[in-house]
Amino acid sequence: MTGLLADARLHAVAGWDVPLVRRVVAVLAETADRLFPWRARLEGVGRALEAGDSWSGPAAQSAAAALADVATVTWAVGRAVDESLSAFQRMVTEADQAQELALRALATDDPSTAEAAAQHAARAADAAESAGDALAGLGVHHASAPTDFQDLLAFVPVMGPVQAPALPPARAPDGIGVWWAGLSTAQQRAVIGTMPAAVGALDGIPAWARDRANRLLLRRALADPMTPVAAAATARAVAAGIAGEEAAGRIVQLHLLDLAGDRVALSIGDLDTADAVALVVPGIFNTAADDLPGLTGDAVDLAAATRAASSGTTVAAVVWLGYRTPATLARAAVRADAERGGRALARALDGLAAARRASGTAPPRTTVVAHSYGTYVVDEAADAPGTLAADAVVLAGSPGMEDDAASLEVPEVFDAAAPADPITWATWFGERKTWEDAYGSTGLPADPFEGHSEYFDRDHPTLVAMGEVVAGTRHSE
């Protein structure tokens, strides 16, 4: 009897329709892939309603609360589907091996092969049960499931206090992005409220969350009479910059606020959704307290040049003071500031890419536009582990690079070197002049008498060309 039963089970496993199961799993995978972007869009609309920019009042707040509920449910469904999908994928692998072994056992009458087939079949059954268990928390049981959103709410609570989860021990941008995307909307807000300093500085977290956390830190610094004088001056400059740009109708995100380290990153445009992203990396003597208005103006003009080069392209241009720039020429001669800045820049680029991947949002075209000593920071960023997460680099007014353009690890490298700019003839930080053929970059137009600080000026051709690079309409040679 046992032999007949074993033989019957082998025939049953040999007859499994594994390709059909594989197709079903593929459909589930497609569904899971769509849930994260859909949730991100819901949350974005909810945040816009909360801000009251386009619709305000009780009805708008009610709609925002409803969207938050839908986003919370989407998060719960997404987690369950992902867990179920993982189990289903294991089931397909085990079922495929079980079927292959069952067919071989029936053909050879080999007991050991039959036993191996039975073991894989048992693991497939366990995986199938796990897949069902993952969805059971959503009210899915056998062939039945909640019929509508209200029925689903019975299984996914959206009300009640939420405790902020602990930060993950590993802080690599990709891991941070995945961790953040795995939190519910309520959990994300709880983390922002309880740990704004951590959230505001973590590469891999979406820009909207970092902006919210850093604005909280900014308000606290402005309200605290014990804030150090230099930090308070930076805070006032940042607040004034945000207010001015928002008054002009532009989207502003405070992507980094490190008052103790004198580091700021201010985006003009939405980093979470922009088609094109540009990081403007300035050189020596630049601080947020003294130079943020001028640098923000450069970013605004670069964004405008980008839109002019590609109509309909959405742009986020970032004033990236993510490193403490040298305050003296003697300090600039030391590599330490550029090395620290390079590591921070590489990580910032990794973080922007990781946040978009984790949310399921299409990646932007990313360009680093570096000026003067900032080009040396890019050189150091390319030396950091991994490949520089950018599509193009513009080196404007560079005082020399260590290696050739290929060492920057990006597909496109451009340089802007005006004949009247004496800095571009220097070899302060490397023997390679960016405008020499041997360096290997593509030159951008410059007026004969364009000065070292005039590459972003509206009346010079370099700004237009840099906008074309950011938009992707100007190609390297």
Domains and CATH numbers, the chain: 2-153 (no CATH), 175-471 (3.40.50.1820)
Contact present, 279 and 367 (Cβ < 8 Å): yes
Q: What's the pTM?
A: 0.79
Residue at 114: amino acid letter? A
Of 78-87, 92-101, 216-225, give the lowest mean pLDDT range. 78-87
Residue at 439: amino acid letter? Y
**What is the signed CA dihedral for 232, 235, 236, 238, rounded to 10 degrees?**
160
Task: Give 109: exposed, middle or buried? Use CB within 10 Å, 0-12, 13-18, 19+.
Answer: exposed
pLDDT at 4 over 50: no
Question: In whole angstroms, what is the distance from residue 331 CA to residue 26 CA?
Answer: 57
More confident residue, 194 or 257: 257
Query: What letter does residue 141 receive in the DSSP assignment?
Result: B
Question: In whole angstroms, what is the distance from residue 203 CA to residue 355 CA?
Answer: 8
Most confident range (mean pLDDT) of 37-46, 164-173, 244-253, 332-341 is: 244-253
Strands (E), 421-476: 442-443
Question: In whole angstroms, what is the distance from residue 8 CA to residue 222 CA?
Answer: 77
What pLDDT does 2 receive? 45
Of the candidates 81, 95, 121, the residue with the CA atom closest to the CA atom of residue 21: 95
pLDDT at 371 over 80: yes
What pLDDT does 464 receive? 98
Instruction: Return the H-helix or E-strand segment holding 413.
Output: strand 412-416
Q: Give 321's strand partners.
A: 264
Contact present, 188 and 209 (Cβ < 8 Å): yes
What pLDDT does 1 receive? 31
What is the DSSP code string of 359-407?
HTPPPPEEEEEEETHHHHHHHHHHHSSS----SEEEEES-S-BSS-GGG
The residues, any chain, with a CB within 8 Å of residue 246's CB and separated by 6 or more, are: 252
Question: In whole angstroms, what is the distance from residue 307 CA to residue 315 CA?
Answer: 7
What is the DSSP code string of 253-269?
EEEEEETTTTEEEEEES
What pLDDT does 6 receive? 62
More confident residue, 368 or 183: 368
Question: In whole angstroms, what is the distance from residue 268 CA to residue 350 CA?
Answer: 19
Q: How far apart are the first and last CA of the chain?
A: 77
Query: What letter does residue 424 receive in the DSSP assignment?
Result: G
Mean of all residue pLDDT scores within the chain: 88
What pLDDT does 203 receive? 97
DSSP three-state, residue 415: strand
3-state secondary structure 305-372: HHHHHCCCCCEEEEEEECCCCCCCHHHHCCCHHHHHHHHHHHHHHHHHHHHHHHHCCCCCEEEEEEEC
Mean pLDDT, residues 230-242: 97
Residue at 162: amino acid letter? V
Mean pLDDT, residues 289-316: 97
What pLDDT does 386 receive? 92
Of 131-140, 154-163, 333-342, 406-415, give the lowest mean pLDDT range. 154-163
What pLDDT does 72 receive? 74
pLDDT category of residue 160 using cuts at 50, 70 and 90: low
Contact present, 283 and 372 (Cβ < 8 Å): yes
Question: In whole angstroms, what is the distance from residue 262 CA to residue 268 CA?
Answer: 20
- The two structure tokens encoding residue 143: 């062939």
